[in-house]
Amino acid sequence: MSEVEAIQQEVREFQQRYRLVFDEVQKVIVGHEDIVHGVLTALFVGGHCLLEGAPGLGKTLLVRTLSQVLSLDFNRIQFTPDLMPADILGTNMVMETDDGKRVFEFQKGPIFTQLCLADEINRATPKTQSAMLETMQEGTVTVGGVRNQLKQPFFVLATQNPIEQEGTYPLPEAQLDRFLFKLIVGYSKRAQLASIISRTTRGISIEPQRIMDGPEILRWQQLVRKVVLADNVQDYIVRLVLATHPEGEFAMPVSNQYLQWGSSPRGAQTMALASKVRALLDGRYHVSFEDVRRVYLPAMRHRVILNFEALAESKTTDHVLLEILEKLPEAVGDVPVAAKA
């Protein structure tokens, strides 16, 4: 078998395994296909997801279902105003040994898992939310000067309710930037709502099957990183990020008018990796401009900050970003070639 044939076979296998996981989740989750695709894209990239939506739309159910489909350790942390960092990370406890001596022993918190549901994450104080920064970025927990490595793969899937503001705290920008995607969970449509009622009010019990384990997920994460990203497509990603920087070289009139801060380099990294997943799902081993456009909004909507004028005119980040996406050309001038490592 030639190298090209081996790659094609691996791509087909990824498509099949991805579809099995997707279909198994859809046995429980009615509709919300884009949300499921977004969560699974984050899974195969190795990033974290923030799910935002009104109560009762299935955010927590989606994460719980995913934990049943994947053979990963799963913990749920219910974020509340009185939650402390030690309640998440763990703490050193005084323990007595067999010979009567007292020693400090680290008791691991619920973050020591592989799939962590941070439910209603914006209900915790900024002090508690900051406990997640190191964990989400580096996959480690440092307590008492000792660095503890989390088991890989590791994902944080967080939910938040945008409607109820009393007793909530906005997520710090530094933490928002650590989420690969921010996915907006909307209302179900007529047929979907009818299906939800039929499934949940007639005594029908659906138990999803386990499809994939941690080593296989890590294998597909490595495949994603091997997908070819041509220089012209990479330059398009770079310019999409630079276009969000007010008064920058590639800034658009809409970004100068409505944005206070633009995206960090993580926005470009996210688009590059997520678009590789989209390419594999389409049976290709190279990224297209359309792949980038499909992941643009969830990758960028939480990485830009609106200014006062935008808030006064009730503009949303999606509105500004979509205008940038519409007006930025795919190619312009000479394309800089990335330096080789």
- At position 85, the amino acid (one-letter code) is P
Residue 341 lies in a domain: no
From 208, 225, 242, give the residue that closes a domain: 225
pLDDT of residue 44: 92
Report the pLDDT value the prediction gives residue 297, as an integer from 0 to 100.
93
Residue type at 81?
P
Using alpha carbons only, give the angle 134, 38, 63 rounded to the nearest 5 degrees: 70
| Residue 98 CB neighbours (<10 A) | 5
Cα 50 to Cα 183: distance, rounded to the nearest angstrom: 6
Task: For residue 55, give every residue at least 6 positions away whose Cβ sits within 8 Å of its Cβ, in sequence order, or none.
Answer: 161, 163, 164
- Please identify every stretch of the chain with a pLDDT value under 50, giving residue numbers as ranges: 341
pLDDT score for 266: 92
Of the candidates 177, 197, 225, which is a domain's last residue?
225
Residue ending a domain, among 197, 225, 253, is: 225
The answer to whether position 340 is within a domain reads no
243 plus 284 within the same structural domain? yes
Q: Is residue 159 part of a domain?
A: yes
State whether 89 and 190 are in the same domain.
yes
Domain match, 220 and 233 both: no
pLDDT tens-digit series, residues 43-91: 999 889 998 887 777 788 888 888 889 888 888 999 888 888 888 888 8
Interatomic CA distance for residues 130 and 121, integer angstroms: 11
Q: Is residue 312 part of a domain?
A: yes
pLDDT of residue 244: 92
Query: What is the domain count for the chain?
Result: 2
Give yes or no: residues 165 and 57 share one domain: yes
**Domain at 287, CATH number:** 1.10.8.80
Task: Mention every residue, 6+ apart, whose C-beta is less than 8 A from residue 166.
Answer: none
Asked if residue 317 belongs to a domain, the reply is yes
- Token representation of residue 95: 């323990």
CATH number of 62's domain: 3.40.50.300
Residues 327 and 197 reside in one and the same domain: no
User: 247 and 206 in one domain?
Assistant: no
Q: Is residue 212 part of a domain?
A: yes
Cα separation, 161 vs 62, whole angstroms? 15
Angle at 131 between CA 127 and CA 134, to 5 degrees: 140
Write down the pTM of the prediction. Answer: 0.85
My answer on whether 144 and 35 are in the same domain is yes
* Buried b / exposed e along 286-306 (16+ C-beta atoms within 10 A): ebeeebbbbbbbbbbbbbbeb
Residues 178 and 135 in one domain: yes
Same domain? 71 vs 202: yes
The answer to the question of residue 9 being in a domain is yes
Cα gap 279→268, rounded to integer Å: 16
Amino acid at 331: A
Same domain, yes or no: 217 and 272: no
339 occurs within a structural domain: no
Domain span at residue 57 reads 1-225
Query: What pLDDT was estimated at residue 341?
Result: 46
- Asked if residue 5 and residue 56 are part of one domain, the reply reads yes
Alpha carbon distance 224, 10 (integer Å): 11
Residue 99, pLDDT score = 72
Looking at the fold, whether 124 and 195 belong to one and the same domain comes out as: yes
